Amino acid sequence: MKLTRRILMGAAVGGYILSAGAAMAKTELTFWSWRQEDKAFYQDVIKKFEAKEPEISVKFETYAPENYQTILSTALAAGRGPDVIQVRAYGNLESIATPGYLLALDKQAVPELANFPDSALAAETLRADGKVYAVPFATQTMLVVYNKKIFKDAGVNPPQTWDELVALTQALKAKNITPFANGTATAWQNETIVAALLSSQLGKQFEDDIVSGKANFTDPRFVNALAKLKDISTNFAPNFTGVDYASSQQLFVAGRAAMFAGGSFEVANFKGQNPSLDLGVFASPVAKAGDERLIARYYDGGYAVNAKTDKKDAALKFVRFLATPDYGTAFTNTLKNLSPIKGIKIEDAITQDVAKLADNSMSYLMLVRFRYQEPSGSVLLQSNVQKLLAGQQTPEQAAAEINKGIATYYKPFQK
């Protein structure tokens, strides 16, 4: 009887331990990103998610941005990779969605997709099947960031028209102030400069005409805009053709230049390096008073689920969490980077200004429209504008080369 009682008691204790262990077992998700600079933010977000969903844990891993797409594609092709993936948008999304590596999302599985404007969802949609494959995470705008103290000390104001911009640069140079910190040695920066300074010169109708094939990149509107860029580039950093992206940033952060033509994503970086900077933003100047003033906008990636994950339910819970207004508000106010989620509350004044400018926009044209095939419209623009500003091409030649490359695959240009 004693032996039987011991056996029964042992079995009961063993069963309790097993059941307790099962109860404490968590589903661990892996989450990959290229946003190394945002690691502290995501770790905090994960803590909040884990408090809400105690049966799930999330391991956050980051990779260098320049290697991320290759590392991710290699892992996914081998049937591995993370459960939740921070993916890029447009053409880069298609490169991993087309082979079937990502789980298609709909409003039944992720009701929070209703929190996003259609334009944001379009950035994470595969054109071949019209399905959404990621929850969008950021809105990026191309504009001009300026140092308010330098402007005030120089007695100048943000320009409305292109002529006012020219006069502004002349006034700054007369006081021995470098107007723009920008250099052109880093190729991709040339695309941001074009969008930041020329969007209002080009206009929404130009984009519509390009997309429909009514016009191409040899259009006088594009050529004339490039000519204006060539003229204004004399106000970039000294010896700007040899100045790379990091050096341009440092020139502005140090207060040695008044303006920086680039993305809204620069603001948090500038303030992080020099918290004393008092910054403002303005949209690209118009050709003449009364013209529509625009910024260039794109959606900077999203959160996707690996199609081969065996933790689909947990992964979807996490992705849904990343699609809520509460998350979007935290993302915007912590990172000073605008979330596309509807209903967010923006605390920071400059981010509020960026959001207002984003209401009147055209596409960040080459990324949104022409980064799906080779030669990429972005690469064509970057390299030819680099040559233009170095004096190696005329605006007409740069435009013709850009158009020639895109016409190899874009049927509306082949008429």
Q: Helix, strand or coil for residue 161? A: strand
Rounded Cα distance between 240 and 207, Å, is 29
Greatest CA separation for the chain = 104
Q: Is the dihedral of CA 323, 329, 334, 335 positive or negative?
A: positive
- Count CB-CB contacts under 10 A for residue 211: 16
Rounded Cα distance between 171 and 309, Å, is 59
Are residues 335 and 265 in contact, defined by beta-carbon separation less than 8 angstroms? no
Provide the pLDDT for residue 25. 81
Are residues 132 and 104 in contact, defined by beta-carbon separation less than 8 angstroms? yes
* Averaged pLDDT, groups of 10, the chain, 415 residues long: 48 48 77 95 98 98 95 97 98 96 98 97 98 98 98 98 98 98 97 98 98 98 98 98 97 98 95 96 97 97 98 98 98 95 96 96 98 97 98 98 98 92
Rounded Cα distance between 209 and 224, Å, is 16
Rounded Cα distance between 114 and 364, Å, is 24
Q: What is the dihedral of CA 381, 385, 386, 391, to 10 degrees?
A: 150
Provide the pLDDT for residue 18. 46
Distances 313 to 112, 135, 140, 308 between C-alpha atoms, Å: 15, 16, 30, 12
pLDDT in tens, 177-207: 999 999 999 999 999 999 999 999 999 999 9
What are the chain's domains? 27-138+300-323 (3.40.190.10), 140-298+359-414 (3.40.190.10)
197 exposure class (CB count in 10 Å sphere: 0-12, 13-18, 19+): buried
- Count CB-CB contacts under 10 A for residue 293: 17
Rounded Cα distance between 323 and 250, Å, is 34
Q: Tell me the pTM.
A: 0.91
Provide the pLDDT for residue 5. 52
Rounded Cα distance between 212 and 410, Å, is 11
